Structure 1
């Protein structure tokens, strides 16, 4: 955690200067003792994990121990500033987390992507013609969905924080799966609008809810990589459901139903079963894994201490609220007003509009180029394979070099040339396979969503801010999806040159937004460091003990960028 490490580093530098210029004793535990403690503990085992422990300073340890007690943090009894463990032990337990938490989160994400992504597959089976709808009405339905999704983000997150993600997330999934199944009975555009609205309201908040739950188990750098696995599931699900759709849509005529009706019904049942299973598989926290059907729980007492202390040493603020504590209106207001996170929100607003527009229209465009329904669904697979490779690669690269703003530039640099081809490609030169190749490369772009979600989480500095910022970021993303749903218009068919001009401009605008975000966070860190460095060691200790600054406004906190 940059703030605590900076604090200890500052103590050491001041202590070194002090020891050469004065015999006056330091307040609290001296920095020399901190270093000797680290050295002594490292002798216990060659691989003992202790060197990055911010709680070796007693002032820091006391401050956060009091904070955890005050908040009734559910893992506070496992907090131990002097506890040590080996790297081998940690790796073994983290590997178990991959199955218990990451794999489960990905499994649940399958339910979301199946029910919100199968509409593009359904329209390949002449769904719009069957319902007597135009592409503009299709746009309206998508707009309604994203608007309701956006409106539900924050309320869902607040409900989840009060009830716990382990209770609310399975409930969400089972409720929306019932609505997803009911789409099989659609008769016209009114029913289409109604089901789109209900799905948006019930699915909204699912992603930030799940991200918050995962943050309880992982460190900041680990979360970024796990989120890349999380969004890899999106592409894998699209591949699998495309294969399923290729078969299910052939059921047109069975029992007098269209193929798209069978698609909605069968996949809705599937997602309901995932929601039901998740109700038994999710747990509230590391120390609350015992259930009537699993009396031993996931971990031993020793393993729980490792998991709790490794997360707290990475980010001590993860214990400033307990996992059933509701966000008060004042907390909500404070978090919304935290302007330091707004640059990342704005990135989320515009970053995914170009690909979001093309994704919604891919099957319709390919169908208009005389590909068959079967071919259309199979041709949606390659871009997802490219998407997986680039998503994992760019997220790993970002964490490997601890860089976000510059790494995110890969996305616009990738999409701008491809959008230029779509915009300026003369109609006489367009052929269906050439269009498919360009669209495939475009949609397989280096996806920066996992980087941005983790970026928001790490710059939030508290559970309160992390809870709200996850929803606000996703709300801006959904606002971008609303824009994306209305760029391609019926009068612009079939090449959508006007729409592609807009998408090209938005893709170009992302470059200065990312660069300005970098400049802003560098400036904020330098401004804080200037004030912090001007303080004496006594002033810093007094500041930590008495400051009313909260979250990102604290002088000992540094933003990642």
Structure 2
């Protein structure tokens, strides 16, 4: 059995001045353990932590999908406004959600993601239920504003949380599970909506009102369980629903030590974010490149997802069947995304995986854009399946960004920034499908093709630039003598991924 020994140490580990509140408890520089022991610990974390994390994102996306279900049931018509209000509401949501997301990772660090996440979901649940009492466009805007404010910080705080449990080459796979759970929620949402919307007329309520009431109660209940289940760190798993903890002392030390040996920066994973970290992040061209990928690659999902039940309905299916037929779309995305991200982790490659996935995406939208009028509804529905079966590249891009961003404070801000970007694009994406272009949205789908083509190019360019940067830095570093390297380490002002010896993953 292979033994992971203690030979990989870091000079600053034994500095007593470093023993502060930022340091991870449980790190043991001299700890030796076998590969099987590490795999055992990772499997335990997957079972006891990741299952709860997946529940949290499942609940959140179940609720996010509820608006499109409510729209298909006639929410705008019942409240006396048109799709322009829905589109404006989506743009408002995107701006507020993005601002909240940027702060979410920072607030998660400040209050502890194990507390910040469930409390946010609890508040979110109460606000979601209040959708049932919307009476006009004004209350619609107000509730969407408040909901986005509360919900925006959850995902970036979750990214920070997962970074404290998983190694770099494990993260893309776990993030694919995370977004896969969102897709599963979207699929279940369509099936549940097909049933719940038939409660229309019960107690004098519309079907969409029942939808929000039921989802609100479910969310509040789930938040209580999450609060009792989330541990502070791998070294602190006792309490709440976890009883005496799900890692013994040796396993807890393995869980922490393996993280630090994979990424020395994580020894001080509890470091709080400073203004310097924020400035370093927003002025780093490498980070901005990943944000540009986010803007372009994710844009098609907003109009397509928001109007998917309506689009399917335009093929000739009734409202209940249309909502139910969204389920296969989300299941296909879930499967392809998990397979793609797992393969990316296994072969240690990011750029080509992203470009290939988007090429698949492009094909589906090309079908929707150019299929002639009168095409059989089964074929047009198949086009939506082609789109949905393309692997979702967002978790891949996030893993790529975080593993190439350092130090910890900067990585924390970048986690919030990418989720911010992943929602800010909604300000314009929600306007791509216009009422005058309905129901085929041919003009909108042609615009989407332009975004996808740009995203493919950005993935390839980002890979090329990382390769070239590695070569340039390696040439400079390898040309230095040992004394020059020691002098560099002692005097350089370069930190994190600005250091000459930092190697970018491509």
Query: Is the pair's TM-score, using the shorter chain for normalization, greater than 0.5?
Result: yes
Structure 1 residue corresponding to 2:283, chosen from 313, 316, 337: 337
Structure 2 residue corresponding to 1:86, chosen from 28, 34, 49: 34
Q: Secondary structure at the match of 2:316?
A: coil
Q: Where does residue 508 of structure 1 map in the other structure?
A: 453
After superposition, what is the alpha-carbon deviation per residue over 1:316-375, rounded to whole angstroms, capped at 9, x for unaligned? 1012342xx532223322232222222211111110112322111111122333322210
Distance 2:364 2:64 in 1: 26
Q: Where does residue 139 of structure 1 map in the other structure?
A: 87
Distance 2:262 2:27 in 1: 13
Q: Secondary structure at the match of 1:351?
A: helix
Structure 2 residue corresponding to 1:487, chosen from 419, 432, 442: 432
Matched, 1:49 2:4: yes
Q: Where does residue 342 of structure 2 map in the other structure?
A: 396
Q: Which moved more, 1:407-416 or 1:104-113?
A: 407-416
Matched, 1:182 2:133: no
Distance 2:241 2:394 in 1: 36
Q: Where does residue 113 of structure 1 map in the other structure?
A: 61
Distance 2:475 2:127 in 1: 55
Matched, 1:532 2:477: yes
Q: Secondary structure at the match of 2:272?
A: coil
For the Cα contact (< 8 Å) 1:340–1:552, is it kept in 2?
Answer: no
For the Cα contact (< 8 Å) 2:363–2:386, is it kept in 1?
Answer: no
Distance 2:505 2:459 in 1: 13
- CA distance 1:203–1:356, change in 2 (3 Å): same
Q: Where does residue 542 of structure 1 map in the other structure?
A: 487
After superposition, what is the alpha-carbon deviation per residue over 1:28-76, rounded to whole angstroms, capped at 9, x for unaligned? xxxxxxxxxxxxxxxxxx421138x532xxxxx2224439825533424
Structure 1 residue corresponding to 2:115, chosen from 134, 145, 167: 167
Matched, 1:63 2:12: yes
Q: Secondary structure at the match of 1:201?
A: helix
After superposition, what is the alpha-carbon deviation per residue over 1:391-429, rounded to whole angstroms, capped at 9, x for unaligned? 1111122112211111111222112222222222222x3
| Structure 2, unpaired ranges of 5+ | none
**TM-score (normalizing by structure 1):** 0.87
Q: Which moved more, 1:539-548 or 1:135-144?
A: 539-548
Q: Where does residue 303 of structure 1 map in the other structure?
A: 251
**Structure 1 segments (4+ residues) deviating >4 Å:** 292-295
For the Cα contact (< 8 Å) 2:96–2:145, is it kept in 1?
Answer: yes
Q: Matches of residues 89-488 of structure 1 in structure 2 within 5 Å?
A: 89-291=37-239, 296-322=244-270, 325-427=271-373, 429-488=374-433
- CA distance 1:541–1:504, change in 2 (3 Å): same
> Highest Rg: 1 or 2?
1
Q: Secondary structure at the match of 1:54?
A: coil
Q: Which moved more, 1:107-116 or 1:245-254?
A: 107-116
Distance 2:137 2:378 in 1: 32
Q: Secondary structure at the match of 2:142?
A: helix
| Structure 1, unpaired ranges of 5+ | 1-45, 56-60
Q: Where does residue 22 of structure 2 map in the other structure?
A: 73
After superposition, what is the alpha-carbon deviation per residue over 1:143-177, rounded to whole angstroms, capped at 9, x for unaligned? 11111100111222222111110111111101111
